[in-house]
Chain A
């Protein structure tokens, strides 16, 4: 199957700093990627749809100024958590479909804000 690589897998940052998470499709082009967040003991929740060459589409309740998404190329989407606070600590994971009906996931990023 297709490969999606996400980096870093773990990051610890100080409160008030920003953190960038990368999601790359290694062997296919992805005009659309998706960013999910998982709270403890909860399901993966869709945060936003990343669109190559245009603005991301955010789900209701997700602050677009807090979670900046850039999809500048067909193989890379980035999620930047700006001015991170402890409540932003979570597991973030991206996915990219290589064709309709099939999504491939990155390995996820565990963010801890101290």
Chain B
């Protein structure tokens, strides 16, 4: 069974940093397209970042230069390093495995709150 478990969320002040982790099981991470999607409280879904099997990344314009997606295939985990956090980054962050260019399997999410 494919499973994604996020961790690392929490409360941080504006300008601070957090590193989100996503532990994957039931599939081979190195062959997979992975993404992070976020949802601000009471709001809609927003795509944040992609990583392809070759390791190449793509980011939402508003997080470019602040967020970095990476992976450790030996630990079957993907990460989202978030620096220079802003209040509008407050959201539930989902780790997602993509397939057929769709967001196929979702984790349960980890909450990030940026507030002074």
A and B: bona fide binding partners:
no
Name A residues whose Cβ lies closer than 8 Å to a Cβ of B.
none
